[in-house]
Structure 1
């Protein structure tokens, strides 16, 4: 059951030092949004020149573009069944009811056949994992406000924010295992940031703190973390060039619409 969370509940302000906050090299101006994301990156030659606040705007912009793109596509009745998860930040948390599932062994690695198609069992497994991110209702908090809340009480580095963006984009366009929507984007971002922090930083905030700030229970957060790792096939490697490319791609307004486009942008 998710933790009941309201805007007035928060973590004390005297304990907000981030393990990766030393990477922060400055903040964008207060009128950053009116300037445009491309203007914010002007003069930045590496990911280390990008402030975390700018990276936050970039990941928010990217996820919202992903959601808008997938909303224009026909919904697949077989890929995304009815939601069963609780809603982050909702005033009253309904009891989570897990649907009946047959036993499926979790595994990672190359599970495709010679034609590049997944087996029926693998498809079922990934579908059930993707359901973990669906909320019963659209969360009442905007994604930008949600990200700012997370960053305020669990500050994150530029690398963590951009890496989470890389993971989610890859899962949506390359692996095709998630379909970003208003009902799952908050939980995808929460899990992505937690996984990216553990993958890139030497220290991370305790689950109890992240869960409270994110508006879910510790048990639910752990489930999201595990599901995210399996959906990402545990491919969490990123480097400075990949992160800088991610920043530049998502400040131009361009959205990769295929696996080929995505891979070409990353390799070019």
Structure 2
């Protein structure tokens, strides 16, 4: 789901703006955590996260051991998927990051922008790639059928009464392997068709990847939005990852965002408005009313 598209197409929200720059950073973190928790929980249910995670792990294992072809973006998406769901909640994770690596509210708000961009960009590319792959397979199958038909017609129309010299010449120009009906063999067994590449991987934020996405996003955004940031070794320690893995995830995060970290002010304002509206509707409104104090 793209929240940016929803906001920009909603006239009341376009006219309404919430100024969150003056809010306590803890409140903003709580709202961001609530929204990310809602998104990941919904995706876990809708996309069957357990089965999807198993498929991702299998694809990654095949890529590493068998050398199967995989698109660079698929490799970048799979880099964020953990084998297990971390025990720490999203709110506790964000709060821990801010406690040991304090930063500005723009960094946490920008995570929502980046995740939306990644979802729209990657999944649209996957749809295009899958469509191209289906068209290529259909074209390849049609070409194979046409070649088989042409070969059959050529065999049928070849005259039997050829000169002995012509027969010898034709025979000498054909390799022994070719005489065994390689055209038919390739057509029947599909040897002429290159093996299909591994299907591209959709980007879906779920419980298996959200923590790695967060720490990689904070690492990138802190360096972009703030003049004060920390070393990757510190971010890695706070995020609970080896330094080498965080360095790798930082690069993959940039790749998935097409190295575009700039966020227009109007987009930040729109996301801030969406965030406040979401929190008021989905969190505060769902809380039970306070009990009346006895007089």
Q: TM-score range by the shorter chain?
A: 0.5 to 0.7
CA distance in 1, matches of 2:66, 2:25: 40
Conservation of the 8 A alpha-carbon contact between 1:79 and 1:127: no
Q: Which has the higher helix share?
A: 2
Q: Once the 2 structures are TM-superposed, how far is the Cα of residue 236 of structure 1 from its aligned partner?
A: 1.2
Distance 1:175 1:47 in 2: 30
Matched, 1:57 2:4: no
Residue 275 of structure 2: aligned partner = 250
TM-score, structure 2 as length reference = 0.55
CA deviation after TM superposition for structure 1 residue 252, in Å:
2.2
Q: TM-score, normalised by structure 1?
A: 0.60
Q: What pairs up with 1:43-82 in 2 under 5 angstroms? A: 45-75=18-48, 81-82=55-56
Gaps of 5+ in 1: 1-42, 85-95, 105-120, 255-268
* RMSD over aligned Cα atoms: 3.1
The number of residues matched between the two structures is: 183
Equivalent in 87, 91, 100 of residue 144 of structure 1: 91
Q: Would the alpha carbon gap of residues 153 and 101 (structure 1) be closer, same or farther in structure 2, given more than 3 Å must change?
A: farther
Q: Relative contact order: is structure 1 or structure 2 higher (C-alpha 8 Å, sep ≥ 6)?
A: 2
Q: Is the 8 A contact 1:58 1:247 kept in 2?
A: no
Aligned to 2:57: 83
Q: Partner of 2:179 in structure 1? A: none
> Equivalents in 2 of 1:73, 1:67: separation in Å?
10
User: Structure 1: how far apart are the matches of 2:256 and 2:249?
Assistant: 10
Q: Tell me by how many angstroms 1:235 deviates.
A: 1.8
Provide the rounded CA distance (Å) in 2 between the counterparts of 1:129 and 1:158: 27
Q: Does structure 2 retain, via aligned residues, the 8 Å contact 1:61–1:250?
A: no
Segment of structure 1 superposing worse, 75-84 or 214-223: 75-84
